[in-house]
Structure 1
Amino acid sequence: MQQVPDKENQPQPDEGEVILIDKPREWTSFDVANKLKRACKFKKIGHAGTLDPLATGLLILCTGRKTKQIDQYQAQEKEYTGTLVLGKTTPSIDLETDFDAEYPTGHITGELMEEARRQLVGTIDQVPPIYSAVQVDGERLYKKARRGETAEIKKRQVTVSLFELDSSAFPEINFRIICSKGTYIRSLVRDFGELVGSGAYMSSLCRTRIGTFHLADAWALPDYILRKRTELNLSTQE
């Protein structure tokens, strides 16, 4: 007599979850995903939208079947806050690399900065930084940059719907940006510096929103791991 399988005893598909993490500074997005996979015993996990190692803020991670939604989250509008500094440049446009040049800033007026800001709002053509994960000839650009090589980088069209500036601490400029998928904030910083006749680098960056997901609702990485391991009855010493 053929037995009917007991559905309750069959392995159930991993429906997965969407996890909001406040990415720590100096962690890569892959570091966060890998840490969660090991610590929380996830079989499948991925992140939606890479953050630079020196950036902090909202990182969306999906597990199990929810990984099918990653492209959907990546395509959503993003919001950032941060600080750019006029008068110096670095090859990476942030503090990952050392300063390589200095420029005057005495000629920069509020009117000049406003004109530069306006040119960077709307649908614009943007060249990604050489220190980025964009692939050229099958290799990540940052690998070429670290070997001191150059590469022809194609422009890409992005949309910047908001670019707010606070120059009260000049030459440090605090900013808030709302933009489309694929926008490089470091490229905006580089281009802003060039438009005002100076150099610029980014000293800090935080992603505060992706679509309807907000940083205020994100977990600190250790807190999420502690909650999840407790839920799974695992040792909390991971």
Structure 2
Amino acid sequence: MNGLLIIDKPGGMTSHDVVNRVRRIAGEQSVGHLGTLDPMATGVLPLLLGRFTRLAQFFSTADKTYTGHIRFGFATDTYDAEGQPQGIAVTPSLTLDQLRVAAAPFHGEIEQMPPAFSAKKIGGKPAYKLAREGKPVELKPKTIQIHEFEITGLDDDTASFRIQVSAGGYIRSVAHELGQALGCGAHLNSLRRTQAGAFTIAQAHTLDAVASSNAEQFLIHPRKLLPEMPSVCGDAIAVGKLRNGAQANLPEYSDAEQIKVFDGQRDLVAIARRIAGTLFQPTVVLG
């Protein structure tokens, strides 16, 4: 089975757990996710199946949008509700206006320190394994873009929020650092990814729904993938060349440097790069 499937990930499962479940449901061993969600988190988890796993490189820079809750009063070692409390718990007295003022600096290009309990590699070993072993975790800050961070409400010690970040951003770190800025400690209490790149929660399906029917019917139409690239239908000669990794002449529908080449309406043959004029070279061949 070849395609892209969007799962509404349930809480309590790792992203790899979801991948394994879809492998069994679809009868397809080649399955990969496009951006890890922590076990606690729910929401949009796009999966590539079969030959479409070759397209993963084109999704690596997609922005992500989340909603969730931050609890104030104490931090945790994992920066979320599944970790161990750190320091002395306090009863914060915060207003919505105070929170919004404190959240304002978390916007635009910032340097963010990943959590010690993360999948970042240190000497080839995931940081979370070192942290669990009580070993020092020396991570470097990463430059990310926060396009939007809005505190949408406050109920006692817990604030609701919406955030849009670039690839690689940790919402747990935002919650932790916001608690530091306010001097009361904080951690991420819940998280739901509502959008990943062009894909939204409205397009997502539960694992139970996919398991109870023909999984293929839930795949995103191939022409909706990578919307920044124009779709071109090749003739039999061009398609044959591209399938064999050779250059081919294609109708010049736009000035785009990369295009999606189809044989008919649904059969995505290749991603091709313009060499000159209407001459294209396949960079990824899908068969």
TM-score bucket of the superposed structures, by smaller chain = 0.7 to 0.9
Is it true that 1:203 corresponds to 2:226 in the alignment? no
Is it true that 1:164 corresponds to 2:150 in the alignment? yes
Is it true that 1:43 corresponds to 2:19 in the alignment? no
Deviations 1:99-133 (A, max 9, x none): 23334454544454233211111100000001100
Letter in 2 for 1:31: D
CA distance in 1, matches of 2:58, 2:156: 38
CA distance in 2, matches of 1:230, 1:218: 14
Is it true that 1:215 corresponds to 2:201 in the alignment? yes
Q: Do 2:72 and 2:92's aligned partners in 1 also have CA atoms closer than 8 Å?
A: no
**Please, which of 156, 162, 176 is the counterpart of residue 176 of structure 1?**
162
Return the TM-score normalized by structure 1: 0.86
The alignment's C-alpha RMSD in Å is 1.8
Deviations 1:17-61 (A, max 9, x none): 100000111100001111111232103110000000110000000
CA distance in 2, matches of 1:85, 1:75: 29
CA distance in 2, matches of 1:226, 1:109: 46
Return the TM-score normalized by structure 2: 0.72
Q: Do 2:92 and 2:157's aligned partners in 1 also have CA atoms closer than 8 Å?
A: no
Is it true that 1:91 corresponds to 2:77 in the alignment? yes
**Please, which of 214, 220, 225 is the counterpart of residue 228 of structure 1?**
214
**Please, which of 83, 91, 111 is the counterpart of residue 125 of structure 1?**
111
How much has 1:229 moved relative to structure 2?
6.1
Change (3 A) 1:110 1:163: same
CA distance in 2, matches of 1:21, 1:110: 34
CA distance in 1, matches of 2:57, 2:85: 36
Q: State the match for 1:61 in structure 2.
A: 47
Is it true that 1:193 corresponds to 2:179 in the alignment? yes
CA distance in 2, matches of 1:187, 1:23: 21
CA distance in 1, matches of 2:209, 2:42: 16
Q: State the match for 1:10 in structure 2.
A: none
CA distance in 2, matches of 1:22, 1:59: 6
What percentage of aligned pairs have identical amino acids?
35
**Any idea what SS the aligned residue of 2:212 has?**
helix
Structure 1, gaps ≥5 residues long: 1-13, 232-238
Q: Do 2:100 and 2:150's aligned partners in 1 also have CA atoms closer than 8 Å?
A: no
- Structure 1 runs, 4 residues or longer, greater than 4 Å off: none
Q: Do 2:112 and 2:143's aligned partners in 1 also have CA atoms closer than 8 Å?
A: yes
**Any idea what SS the aligned residue of 2:139 has?**
coil
Letter in 2 for 1:96: E
Structure 2, gaps ≥5 residues long: 218-287
Deviations 1:183-208 (A, max 9, x none): 00000001111111110011100000
Q: State the match for 1:147 in structure 2.
A: 133
Structure with higher RCO (Cα < 8 A, 6+ apart): 1
CA distance in 1, matches of 2:9, 2:96: 34
Aligned residues: 217
How much has 1:167 moved relative to structure 2?
3.6
CA distance in 2, matches of 1:32, 1:228: 17
Change (3 A) 1:230 1:119: closer
CA distance in 2, matches of 1:41, 1:84: 39
